[in-house]
Structure 1
Amino acid sequence: MDELPIGRRVAYWRGRRKMSQQVFADRLGKSKSWVDKVERGVRRLDKFSVVYEIADVLQVDVQLLLGKDVERRPETQNCIDQVEVEEIRAALERYDQMSAFFQAVPHSPPLTEMRKAVSHAWLTYQHAKYGVLARTLPKLLRDAQAADSAHASTPEAKDAAHLLGQVYQIASSALRKVGEHELSWLAADRSIAVSQRAGDQLLAGLASYRVGSALLALGRVRPALEVNVNIANRLAPSREPAQGDRLSVYGMLLLNGAMAAARIGDSATVRDLLCGAEQASFELGGDYNHYWTSFGPTNVQLHRCATAVELGDGRTAVEAHEKIDQVGFHALLPERRAHHFLDIARGYTQIGNIEKASEMLLEGDRLAPSEIRCRPLAHEVLSDVLRRTRGTPPAPIAELAEQMGVGV
């Protein structure tokens, strides 16, 4: 895209942000006609101040608009930037690497090395190190695609497909966190097909969970509810004691379905799905990380809070939060706990307790900064907190807002 005129780059990023020309013009304080002329190259952008303002509205680095290489962030900053998103996109676009029909069987790392790399990527995600993960994902995607193609006709074919299915799911989860929902859906959808070749029903079930999450993020709520509930019904344990991994995937599908039902205000379905997930967690007998789900009684408690927030019932969410088993909660991985703090911050704003909402944001930031600083949802919650704070915001919140680029 570097060779495109700046107007075309503006149009590209406006489209990526799903803004109409009118909305974009309103945010810039310009006319729709002005935007149209800029994007068609009829009007030149010859003032840096205007270019910087456009970059700010589009939430991209100004160097991307100018067609120059972006100065990469230092390793200490841990968000996924636009350059890294484009590199992940490029890896997903390499259709020639996905099949030996189109090129010679590529060289790929040994599967033993791939297993270690995939396991490390899962842990990196669950510790909310999104920037670190983003810098490894493009190569991991290419390596996993190459391994899947190279082993297509070998006894290791299912193992290679299983690893690729996992990598697609990691990519889907990370992309959803930073608002790249269409890409998240694409990666999750691919994982379903690859999981079938891997011969693993539970991996395919978990891929369906990722599809449901992406659809929910895209506002496709009823399809999200249907895919989670339908696949959960197919994985429902029989009368015999079920294995932990099956219970975990089944339970997570129910929890995700409950989140979708809450989004459309269907409290009865929310209640039924949460009860089903709770029963599965009791059968499981504790909190585990089977298939990287972090499923168990504590995660069910967290989803009781989250669904209450989605239903607009902040008081119920806060009351459920205060009853959470603290031993189980502190045993969960950082991403899950910080995500919960963000949910409860939303709950506190719903009941007007801005001080406690601020505390929850700060707790989440101390635990897993990327879960708060990198997510568009967290930016929205912090903006709401600042808007409703009387007088000068407390210093810690003001500092967090400055670091996140949220106006005080």
Structure 2
Amino acid sequence: MIDDGSGPQKRHHPQTIGQRLRRLRKKRGLTQPELARKAGVSLDLVSKLERDVRESMSWTSMIKLARALDVDPGYIAGKGGHLEPVPGAAVLTVRDSVISPGLLPGLHPDHDGEPPTLDDLWQLIERGYGAYFAGEFGVLAAGIPQLIAESRLLQSADPAAAAGPLSHAWQLAASVLVHTGRDDAAAIAAERAVGAAKDGDDPWRLATHYGMYCWVMLHQGRLDESERLAVSAAADIEPSMSRASGEQAAAWGGLMLHAAVAAGTRGDAEDADEYLRIAGAGASRIGTDRRDYWTSFGPTHVAIQRTHIMTALQRPEIALRAARQVDRTGLFKVQYGRHLLNVSRALLDRNRSDEAEEVASRAQGLSTEWFRHQSFAKTLTFDLVERKTRLSRPLRDLVTAFEDPA
């Protein structure tokens, strides 16, 4: 096993991207030019990052450097596991719930007592998603171990009934783990979500969990695999739009958007455009924005992802045009916040830094805790700082969000 410096003995990440990058490069025995060639990025970028002249880079460049150094992108980004202080909210507790020895075949489950009713369990799931979409990751993390335990308790009594809520309990665990930089544990949780959903009788729910797995792989930098899985899973449930249920159309459309994001992130504009076109046609047939299985799809969400992808492809004018098609009504806080970050980046790329700063501040105002866990927000913030001769109060607040809470 390769020691990438992120094991138990060396959990603390150096403070800057440059320090982490330099440490990993030297550990691999690479010179700066060798790393640049291996990653397919410019030597100037590597040099400026390591000298802390630049404090950020695009997500695509981060993925390339991470793969060249054989680490998760989240390590270079410096994703932290700190959550708002809520009793029982330690990220490691969530991780331990996902990889508990009690889940091994042949062992007795590590829970007992009377199973909850299905209605009670769905209420717990509903509260969990409410915390997630509000950006309250500490509150969510505090409840996940109980949520998994209660779902498994019902599973031991009624596997078919428990399939739905248990799959979503695993999905919520994966979500917290991704946002706090534990992508490998998140992948295990996402796989458990798929496995639990397969024990049920709802193929559309299962499809949304495949979408979650695609999202986790995207954060791991596994772009080709993420795209292939999304396309394959979508093909398996591709609906006839004239006869499809809303749930089927939304599950299929969500997978097409995952494929578009993966293609756009790796820089393939042609494939990304095609996936967006297909998803957009489906959204037009639905005619409205839907939310099924806590997954959203419809015209607004196609516009949100087009904004995101065109921002990543450095096409800010197209991104800003797409953003004008987004209907804020009905969006969760974190959905709208992530969209605002893309709008801010597109504005900055158009040299409209004052507007970019104002939009980024609006995103932070939706949930400071969520904002602090977004590597994209951190990159954007330090790029804003580079454009300014003096820091305004809002920009100082953005910078403060990324200071080490310890």
Counterpart of 2:355?
356
Counterpart of 1:324?
325
Counterpart of 2:191?
189
Deviation (angstroms), 1:317 = 1.0
Matched letter for residue 240 of structure 2: S
- Native 8 Å contact 1:358 1:397 kept in 2: yes
Structure 2 CA distance for partners of 1:10 and 1:24, relative to 1, 3 Å: farther
Segments ≥4 residues shifted beyond 6 Å: 17-22, 57-61
Paired-residue identity, %: 20
Counterpart of 2:172?
170
- Native 8 Å contact 1:179 1:375 kept in 2: no
Q: Give distance in 2, aligned partners of 1:135 and 1:331.
A: 26
- Native 8 Å contact 1:338 1:365 kept in 2: yes
| Mapped pair 1:129 → 2:127 | no
Structure 2 CA distance for partners of 1:281 and 1:239, relative to 1, 3 Å: closer
Q: Give distance in 2, aligned partners of 1:131 and 1:262.
A: 31
Q: Give distance in 2, aligned partners of 1:362 and 1:204.
A: 37
- Relative contact order: is structure 1 or structure 2 higher (C-alpha 8 Å, sep ≥ 6)? 2
Aligned CA-pair RMSD? 3.2
Deviation (angstroms), 1:22 = 8.0
Q: Give distance in 2, aligned partners of 1:359 and 1:20.
A: 30
Matched letter for residue 324 of structure 1: Q
Counterpart of 1:341?
340
Structure 2 CA distance for partners of 1:26 and 1:274, relative to 1, 3 Å: closer
Q: What TM-score, normalized to structure 2?
A: 0.77
Q: Give distance in 2, aligned partners of 1:169 and 1:22.
A: 31
- Native 8 Å contact 1:301 1:320 kept in 2: yes
Instruction: Pick the aligned partner of 1:92 from 86, 95, 98.
Output: 98
Radius of gyration: which is bigger? 1
Counterpart of 1:138?
145
| Mapped pair 1:401 → 2:399 | yes
Deviation (angstroms), 1:60 = 6.4
Deviates more, 1:94-103 or 1:220-229: 94-103
Q: What TM-score, normalized to structure 1?
A: 0.77
Counterpart of 1:270?
272
Structure 2 CA distance for partners of 1:310 and 1:60, relative to 1, 3 Å: closer
Q: Give distance in 2, aligned partners of 1:146 and 1:253.
A: 31
Structure 2 CA distance for partners of 1:177 and 1:271, relative to 1, 3 Å: same
Q: Give distance in 2, aligned partners of 1:197 and 1:92.
A: 18
Per-residue CA shift, 1:199-257, capped at 9, x if unaligned?
32112211111111111111111001100111111111026421111111111111111
> Within 5 A, what are the aligned runs for 1:6-405?
9-13=8-12, 23-24=22-23, 73-74=84-85, 84-97=90-103, 101-103=107-109, 106-107=112-113, 108-148=115-155, 150-151=156-157, 156-238=158-240, 240-321=242-323, 323-325=324-326, 328-389=327-388, 391-405=389-403
Structure 2 CA distance for partners of 1:403 and 1:371, relative to 1, 3 Å: closer
Gaps spanning 5+ residues in structure 1: where? 1-6, 28-56, 62-69
- Native 8 Å contact 1:13 1:58 kept in 2: no
Structure 2 CA distance for partners of 1:179 and 1:60, relative to 1, 3 Å: closer
Structure 2 CA distance for partners of 1:113 and 1:405, relative to 1, 3 Å: same
Deviates more, 1:164-173 or 1:94-103: 94-103
- Native 8 Å contact 2:103 2:109 kept in 1: yes
Matched letter for residue 248 of structure 2: R
Query: Does the residue aligned with 1:404 lie in a helix, a strand or coil?
Result: coil
